[in-house]
Amino acid sequence: MAYMDKTSNFPETILTVLKDVLPKDRKFIPLHEPKFNGKEIEYVTACIDSTFVSSVGKYVDKFEKMLEEYTGVKKAVAVMNGTSALHIALKLANVRQGDEVIMPALTFVATANAVSYLQAVPHFADIDEKRLGIDPVKLKEYLEDIGDIREEECYNKKTGKRIKAVLPVHVFGHPAELDFLNAICEKFKLTLIEDAAESLGSFYKGRHTGNWGKLSALSFNGNKIITTGAGGAILTNDETLGIQAKHITTTAKNPHKWNFSHNQIGYNYRMPNINATLGCAQLERLEYFVEKKRTLAKRYMTAFNEIDGVRFVAEPEDSRSNYWLNTILLDKKHANLRDLILKTTNTAGIMTRPAWKLMPSLPMYEHCPGMDLTVAEKMEKRIINIPSSADL
């Protein structure tokens, strides 16, 4: 379909494109909602009948095994949410009080919060305009300027603190440039930890995200590509770390039929069995969800290619994205229309939203270290997420 009105009323043109792509029989279309059309009810009922609905039960073990098989990692540990997964991943990577952890300025607040739980310091990096994740070229140049390698560790020349890790985020499901980031970590003696909360079903150069870092974190929140209601998982190819992750997320309790004995400070982060039932049923249909979402993304791409002043954010050529949240990027000349577009679409019953506010703009993180954020600052004002549910 040709879109004739390209300049006179840009917000209405965007709305017209969305209406043409999306179903016509719905009064309200949310940004992303779960779809329960598999064996969810069957598994939940079996779990309730078993009475094992809390931290013990077969569905947690089954869910973890299914995650390992799908992603290709050696160990998956199911936990209460993505933030707790990231918290433990950072802890097991030996991030300590006062350490700096490099992450993109454009991310959900949980990325920075998990670092703060360890009394470590978020350190913000600029982003790549195509992938929306950390720009590795800019990061390499930045570390060459501020990084000081001493005794096989990297220190910030400006703050004197140890820079322990790089925490890339696969923003909206698009994989970050992981091989380049891995090379940077090797050169500067840093640990790569992936925030893969949004990227279940996404692959970088043929390998699932979560396989590149020492540890990684997934999220199964209600708005993710599969959901356990609330939930997350720690992924690792280090079996020793995987065993330790499972131990400390279950209050560090020593195995015994009746005695309660704990050998270190642990966390009550274990995913309940009843939540894992949803995860098993959802994971059985993950590839179906991914293909439906990729089909929707292609329809958006075709439609928005006809419009001047806006670009649909497509997967990088070296990746297969799950297109968790479909995204359009306004041209600079239309950036001032973002809020009007949001108002126009939401008023019409089509839910859209802006990107997250940049982390350094939040009061608790405004004094954290970081590089020049020119690209992130410009992109934040131009990003709009559009409806992305698998059944659209």
Per-residue pLDDT reduced to its tens digit, 25-53: 999 999 999 999 999 999 999 999 999 99
How many CA atoms within 13 Å lie on the side-chain side of 327? 25
- Joined together, the tokens standing for residue 150 give 């001493």
My answer on whether 189 and 156 are in the same domain is yes
204 contacts 175 by C-beta, under 8 angstroms: yes
**Domain presence at residue 381:** yes
188 is in which domain, residue-wise? Answer: 40-283
The pTM assigned to this predicted structure is 0.94
- State what percent of residues in the chain have pLDDT above 70: 98
My answer on whether 122 and 179 are in the same domain is yes
Residues near 50 by beta carbon (within 8 Å), at least 6 away in sequence: 57
**Domain presence at residue 2:** no
What's the average model confidence in pLDDT over 101-122? 98
Q: What is the pLDDT of residues 340-364, one digit of tens each?
A: 999 999 999 999 999 999 999 999 9
What's the average model confidence in pLDDT over 288-305? 97
Which has more confidence, 322 or 54?
322
Whichever domain contains 250, its CATH number is 3.40.640.10
User: What's the structural domain count of the chain?
Assistant: 2
Within 10 angstroms of residue 204's Cβ, the number of other Cβ atoms is 24
Give CA separation, 141 vs 145, 147, 325, in Å.
Answer: 6, 10, 31
Q: What is the pLDDT of residues 377-391, one digit of tens each?
A: 999 999 999 999 999
pLDDT over 50 (residue 204): yes
My answer on whether 108 and 230 are in the same domain is yes
My answer on whether 160 and 245 are in the same domain is yes
My answer on whether 134 and 241 are in the same domain is yes
- Band (pLDDT 50/70/90 cuts) for residue 113 is very high
